[in-house]
Structure 1
Amino acid sequence: MQAQPLIAVADVEAASRWYQAVLGCHGTHGGTDYEQLAFDGRIILQLHRWDAQHHAHVGDPACRPYGNGVLLWFWTDDFDDAVDRAAANGAKVVDGPKENRNAQHRELWLNDPDGYVVVIAGPYGDVGM
C-alpha cells in the first residue's frame, strides 16, 4: 500500500509548479482541475481545484486553515538539495532547517502557496551531518 494524498488548491497549475520546483518531482497528468505529482515513478501528491465538481468531499474553501491537523510529510535522500530548492523558489519557511534528534533526521517545515504545512525530512541518521 502507498499513500497518495489529495489536497484542494486554488490554482492547480501554480501549485504544481511550486511542488515540482521545491520537491524536485514532476507532473504526470496536468490540467487546470487536477494534477498528479510523481517522484521516481510513484505518485506522491494529487492536486485538485477547489471548485472543480469531481468530488463531493473535497471540502469547503472558506474553512481555514487548510489541512488543519494534517502535515504533508516528504522524505528525501537529498535534504540539502531540497533546502536549496526551497530557498531558490522563495518558499515560506515555518521552521528549520533543523535537527530532530528524536527522529534522527533533519527537517524543513514550509507553507505551500495555499497555506498547507509541508515538511521535508532527510534520511534516518542524518542528524549532525
Structure 2
Amino acid sequence: MKRTWTIIGVADVAHSFNWYQALFGQPKSAPAHEFFGQVLDGDGTVLLCLHQWGSHDHPSLASPGDSQPGNGLLLFFRVDDFDAALVRARGLVSSLEEEPSVNPSTGTREFALRDPDGYYVMVSAWD
C-alpha cells in the first residue's frame, strides 16, 4: 500500500472544502468538482477527500440519515500490486461488492469489498 485517501460524506463540498482549508491554514481555493474535492498538502499529498452525499452510487455515501455500518465513510486504498491485491481480496470474502473495472473518472482499475464490520472498501490501482 502506498497511502490511504480518507473520503467523508458532506452536504456541501465547497463549504466543507473551505472549512478544512481554513483549519489546516491553507490558501483558499475551489474543489475540482461540485460533488468531490481533495484537500491537498503543499506537496500534493491528499489529506482528505470530500464527497457530496447521494452523488454517484457509493452505497456508504447515499445519505447522512442512513445508519448502516460504515455510512459516510468510503475507505479508498491505492495499491501498487493491484492484481495480487485482487487475489487476496477474493480469498477474504465470498463475493466482491464491485468486480474489477476501470473508473471512467480516474482511468484506474478498481474493485470493492466489505470489511468484517461492513465498511465499504475500494481498492484502486496506483498506476
TM-score by length of 2: 0.45
